[in-house]
């Protein structure tokens, strides 16, 4: 990783940039890389010092590679081509995709790679910078702890699902959300795991799933549940860990986080600022995955900001592009989620049997994750699915 750029500034000496990117995760680093590559002066700030741990299962759909102009092989821990599905540890069946459909990464290494590519493109990076106040008056000015200030014409806020920057700017309010808990466990002797297999455990009320993702040195366990069930996550995850034979393993890290979902017209751009990635609620409600959408929205943020630089400064094109390019896919993923979990809740045994024996379901899922198809295209092949899912949504 490149050394952090030193940006000495005091209250009386303010560095100026074309764009300030708040948050150096996949969305922020991608936006910064593309802006810098186009010749913009870019500053990335993040409260953490990189590399840093990030609570996340670390499953990266293979389609994500298509969005990046460089390989990610150097940070891939395992590539997954098989899913094992269980229902509270029982009724197991497995499905193979033939070719890998996802890579497993440790987020500290994956994010550090994306940040390094942004710096190589010319973006400056200031670590350990917690933004406490943002002024927006014909431009952007950030104030952080320690007296550091910087100014720019635009801001890309990619500071995660909590998005303190978004809150300050009045963006991203009133989104749906859920809770997740993740534990990295070193495999004890005799633990059941496979380097090419992701385990998904169903049967949580009213929806949600636990996972085991294989990494090079640890098993990444976790659970995602609806908002309001956070008090159950640790116990349920421990139960799942024990059921997979990892109870005696050394816990390397345990941390919770939330996932937000943009479902409609929640405001994600205004004035000279926009939200990207988790801050904008761009996550898949079927799997909870957000890395693909973070990188996609980072690219979109860069395009919109470059357009705004050359015109009237409006970032309206960002919302339009998100609404036309990403939101249809997220709405389709939500339809799939309500259909899948709705059927599981209403007819568990028949639905598990159908899920095991209906090849189309898994072919469609694997094709979507590899980038050979999309949720929207696959749901379009079943005209009754959206209507049935909509009915289930109304009853949820």
What CATH number should be reported for the domain holding residue 268? 3.50.50.60
pLDDT, tens digit, 9 for 90 and up, residues 49-76: 999 999 899 999 999 999 999 999 999 9
10 in any annotated domain: no
Q: Do 225 and 108 meet the contact criterion of CB atoms below 8 Å apart?
A: no
SS (H, E, C) 110-134: HHHHHHHHHHHHCCEEECCCCEEEE
Q: Are residues 181 and 213 in the same domain?
A: yes
60 in any annotated domain: no
Q: What integer pLDDT is reported at residue 124 of this predicted model?
A: 98
372 in any annotated domain: yes
- Among the candidates 260, 281, 315, a domain finishes at 260
**Residue length of the chain:** 396
Q: Are residues 26 and 149 in the same domain?
A: yes
Q: Are residues 159 and 285 in the same domain?
A: yes
272 in any annotated domain: yes
196 in any annotated domain: yes
Residue % of the chain over a pLDDT of 70: 92
CATH number at residue 201: 3.30.9.10
Q: What integer pLDDT is reported at residue 172 of this predicted model?
A: 97
61 in any annotated domain: no
Q: At what angle do helices 291-309 and 26-37 cross, to 10 degrees?
A: 30
Q: Domain range spanning residue 207?
A: 78-104+176-260
Q: Are residues 153 and 266 in the same domain?
A: yes
Q: Do 31 and 276 meet the contact criterion of CB atoms below 8 Å apart?
A: yes
Contacts of 111 (CB under 8 A, 6+ apart): 24, 25, 26, 29, 50, 51, 52, 54
Cis peptide, bond prior to residue 206, ω within 30 of zero? yes
Q: Are residues 181 and 94 in the same domain?
A: yes
Q: Are residues 28 and 129 in the same domain?
A: yes
Distance CA 146, CA 130 (A): 9
Q: What integer pLDDT is reported at residue 342 of this predicted model?
A: 85
Instruction: From residue 290, give the alpha-carbon distance in Å to each of 61, 176, 276, 331.
Output: 10, 15, 11, 14
1 in any annotated domain: no
Q: Are residues 168 and 275 in the same domain?
A: yes
Burial label for 228, CB within 10 Å (0-12, 13-18, 19+), is exposed
Distance CA 323, CA 266 (A): 11
Q: Are residues 163 and 49 in the same domain?
A: yes
Q: Are residues 250 and 210 in the same domain?
A: yes
pLDDT, tens digit, 9 for 90 and up, residues 156-211: 999 999 999 999 999 999 999 999 999 999 988 766 666 799 999 999 988 999 99
Burial label for 72, CB within 10 Å (0-12, 13-18, 19+), is middle
Nearest Cα residue to 298 out of 316, 321, 314:
321
Q: Are residues 319 and 283 in the same domain?
A: yes
- Among the candidates 281, 306, 327, a domain finishes at 327
63 in any annotated domain: no
- Among the candidates 304, 327, 350, a domain finishes at 327
Q: Are residues 181 and 248 in the same domain?
A: yes
Token pair for 275: 């939200």
Q: Do 185 and 178 meet the contact criterion of CB atoms below 8 Å apart?
A: no
Q: How many CA atoms lie within 13 A of 247 on its CB side?
A: 8
Give the chain's domain count: 3
SS3 219: strand
Instruction: From residue 49, give the alpha-carbon distance in Å to each of 3, 44, 355, 361.
Output: 11, 12, 44, 42
Q: Are residues 84 and 180 in the same domain?
A: yes
Ranges in the chain, pLDDT < 70: 1-13, 190-194, 383-396
């Amino acid at each position: 990783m490149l050394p952090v750029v030193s940006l000495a500034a005091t209250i009386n000496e303010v560095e100026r940039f074309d764009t300030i990117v708040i948050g150096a995760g996949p969305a922020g680093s991608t936006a910064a890389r593309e802006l810098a590559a186009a010749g913009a002066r870019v500053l990335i700030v993040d409260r953490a010092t990189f590399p840093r741990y990030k609570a996340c299962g670390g499953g990266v759909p293979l389609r994500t590679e298509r969005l990046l102009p460089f390989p990610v092989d150097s940070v891939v821990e395992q590539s997954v081509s098989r899913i094992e599905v269980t229902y509270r540890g029982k009724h197991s069946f497995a499905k193979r995709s033939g070719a890998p459909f996802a890579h497993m990464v440790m987020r500290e290494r994956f994010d550090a790679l994306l940040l390094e590519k942004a710096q190589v493109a010319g973006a400056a990076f200031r670590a350990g910078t917690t933004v406490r106040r943002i002024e927006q008056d014909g431009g952007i000015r950030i104030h952080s702890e320690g007296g550091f200030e910087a100014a720019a014409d635009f801001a890309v806020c990619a500071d995660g699902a909590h998005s303190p920057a978004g809150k300050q700017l009045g963006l991203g309010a009133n989104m749906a959300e859920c809770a997740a808990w993740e534990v990295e466990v070193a495999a004890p002797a005799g633990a059941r795991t496979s380097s090419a297999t992701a385990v998904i455990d169903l049967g949580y009320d009213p929806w949600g799933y636990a996972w085991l993702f294989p990494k090079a040195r640890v098993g990444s366990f976790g659970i995602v549940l609806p908002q309001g069930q956070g008090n159950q996550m640790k116990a349920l995850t421990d139960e799942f860990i024990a059921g997979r034979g990892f109870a005696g393993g050394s816990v390397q890290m345990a941390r919770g986080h939330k996932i937000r979902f943009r479902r409609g017209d929640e405001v994600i751009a205004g004035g000279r600022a926009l939200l990207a990635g988790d801050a904008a609620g761009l996550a898949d409600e079927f799997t909870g995955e957000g890395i693909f959408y973070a990188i996609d929205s980072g690219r979109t943020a860069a395009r919109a900001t470059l357009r705004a630089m050359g015109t009237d400064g409006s970032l309206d094109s960002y919302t339009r592009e998100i609404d036309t390019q990403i939101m249809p896919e997220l709405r389709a993923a939500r339809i799939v989620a309500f259909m899948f979990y709705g059927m599981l809740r209403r007819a568990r045994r028949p639905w598990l049997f159908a899920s095991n024996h209906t090849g189309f379901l898994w072919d469609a899922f694997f094709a979507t994750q590899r980038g050979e198809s999309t949720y929207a295209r696959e749901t379009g092949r079943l005209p009754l699915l959206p209507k049935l899912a909509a009915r289930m949504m109304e009853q949820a």
